[in-house]
Amino acid sequence: MKNTFHVLVFSSLILSFSLLSCGPGKKLLSSRANVENLRIDSLNTHNQLDKCNTLVQNLNEEKTSLLKEKTSLQNENLSVANDLKALSAESKMTIADQARRLKSLQDMIQAQKDVMDNLKNSIADALMKYKSDELSVYIKDGNVYVSLAEKLLFKSGSDVVDPKGKEALSTLAKVLSNTKDITVQIEGHTDNVPIKTNKFNDNWDLSTSRAISIVRILTKDNGFDSNRITASGRGQFFPVQTNDTAEGRASNRRTEVILSPDMKELYNLLYK
């Protein structure tokens, strides 16, 4: 009986120790498992948060792009609206208005033509004592041309105007000074025979220097308005005759005074 009691006590102690040793171990393992699950959940949450931040950034960039596109479309719509408004205003012009405008254009063009015709006749009358191989006056492309031959103005290879040429330019200046609303272009021309001197490197130099000499005579010596005149040299590149003959080369050695009408009123009527 006594032995049986000892066995029971010993068995109880062993069972108690077993329970004490197994209980905390299972809890520890369970806690560790919970921690690992929380860590995994936290990592997944952070990954999802990063994705959300990236999505938000992309949406903000897309929003900015859409706002810019919206602004561009608004500006384009405003431009189209203005164009439509202008077209609408123009479309309201009656047939009678269009006829009056056309008549005004025709009258203005005819008036310009009359001015240039009268100017051409006045110059031709003033210079009638000069021979046809010395100068000619004609209308081309709505401009009056006074073509002065080299023999009237210069010695060969020179830019110094002869006395006879100065007399002709003085007469021309008097006519031009009495004519308003025209501009004057002086163009020097040569033949294709090369030239090289201490003063002129080539025909460009010679033709330009001759044009400048004539501008100075018209302005400084005869008082023509310097704001209405320009000079240029075109060398041998715009011949009026062949350079294969002496007569052709003589025709090409010329200085042209080109008189152009003021077209401001016509442009204003066309584009107003």
Q: Give CA angle at 39 (37, 41), nearest 5°.
A: 70
Write the burial class of residue 208 (CB in 10 Å: 0-12 exposed, 13-18 middle, 19+ buried). buried
Q: Which helix (H) or strand (E) holds 272?
A: none
User: Cα torsion for 112, 118, 121, 122, to the nearest 10°?
Assistant: -120
Q: Whats the size of the chain, residue-wise?
A: 272
Class of domain 102-270: alpha beta
Both structure tokens of 253: 């050695």
Q: Is residue 226 within 8 Å of residue 219, measured between CB atoms?
A: yes
Average pLDDT over residues 193-218: 95
pLDDT on residue 7? 47
pLDDT in tens, 44-79: 887 888 888 888 888 888 888 888 878 888 887 787
pLDDT in tens, 223-272: 999 999 999 999 999 999 999 999 999 999 999 999 988 766 555 555 66
Residue 97 and residue 120: Cα distance in Å, rounded?
35
Q: Which helix (H) or strand (E) holds 221?
A: none
Residue 82 and residue 64: Cα distance in Å, rounded?
27
Q: Which residues lie across from 135 on neighbouring strands?
A: 148
DSSP state letter for 169: H
Coil/strand/helix, residue 266: helix
19-28, 168-177, 208-217, range with the lowest pLDDT: 19-28
pLDDT on residue 110? 81
Q: Is residue 116 within 8 Å of residue 142, measured between CB atoms?
A: yes
Residue 204 has pLDDT above 90, yes or no: yes
Confidence of residue 148 (pLDDT cuts 50, 70, 90): very high
Q: Which residues lie across from 138 on neighbouring strands?
A: 145
Q: Is residue 197 within 8 Å of residue 266, measured between CB atoms?
A: no
In 10 A of CB 119, how many CB atoms?
Answer: 20
**Domain ranges in the chain?**
1-92, 102-270
pTM above 0.75, yes or no: no
* CA–CA distances in Å: residue 224 to residues 58, 128, 140, 219: 72, 21, 23, 4
Residue 59 and residue 63: Cα distance in Å, rounded?
6
Coil/strand/helix, residue 243: coil
